[in-house]
Amino acid sequence: AERRAAEAESRNRLARELHDSVGHALSAVTLQAGAARRVLDTGAAADLDFVKEALTAIEETTRRTVGELDWVLGLLRRGDEVEEGVGPGLDALESLVRGAGPRVALTVGGDLAPVPEALSREAYRIVQEGLTNAARHAGGTPVTVRLDARTEELEIVMENPLPERPPVARPHGGRGLRGVGERARLLGGSAEAGPVDGLWRLAVRIPR
């Protein structure tokens, strides 16, 4: 029973890694490509710099995701459990945010370097899923990402304006925010998501 439980947890972790990595990449690339196409359709030469930024973001996102996908598929082929100490962490956060487009603003309070490795990896995935959620349901609106590491908790707050029309619910619900909650709880933290004062807010607190 313990072995089966461990295998099930390993499969769940692999599923979360695939969902967050590939799902984010597809959403980010779709958003950036659509924005670049709309600019080119207008024929405005002054906006070519924006198109270059969008193409650069697509290149960075796909290159990073191919590496992450190779790692997860390698584990599946070998039948290994998810290893500790692998996968991107908060040191790759700026690249992640840059790949999400120019309308994403990152603010960091405190020093992220001392954040434990396991927490660093989970925090990266949480931000990644938050950006994916914003791209799917409120694509093109400004997104703010705030991390605060100045206390005994790592706090992650992500906000974006609510869309004029509520997003279409999936028949069986999305897995992204559920995965965020699972990641937070596994480290003894909490996660809340929902509308607050005209904004969609994802707030996560995890002890360090």
pLDDT tens for 111-121 read 999 999 889 98
User: How much is the pTM?
Assistant: 0.68
- DSSP-derived secondary structure letter, 175: S
Higher-scoring residue by pLDDT: 80, 181: 181
The neighbour count for residue 196, using CB atoms within 10 Å, is 12
Tens digit of each residue's pLDDT (9 = 90 or more) over 119-148: 998 899 899 888 888 877 776 788 999 999
pLDDT at 18: 74
Q: Return the CATH superfamily for domain 2-207.
A: Histidine kinase-like ATPase, C-terminal domain (3.30.565.10)
Separation of alpha carbons 83 and 20, rounded Å: 17
How many percent of the chain have pLDDT more than 90? 26
The contacts found for 46-50 with CB under 8 angstroms, 24 or more apart, are 50/102
pLDDT at 169: 43
Residue 80's pLDDT band (cuts 50, 70, 90): low
The contacts found for 45-54 with CB under 8 angstroms, 24 or more apart, are 50/102, 53/101, 53/102, 54/101
**Is the pLDDT reported for residue 151 higher than 60?**
yes
Largest Cα–Cα separation, the chain: 64
Residue 28's pLDDT band (cuts 50, 70, 90): confident
Domains of the chain, by residue range, sit at 2-207
pLDDT at 171: 42
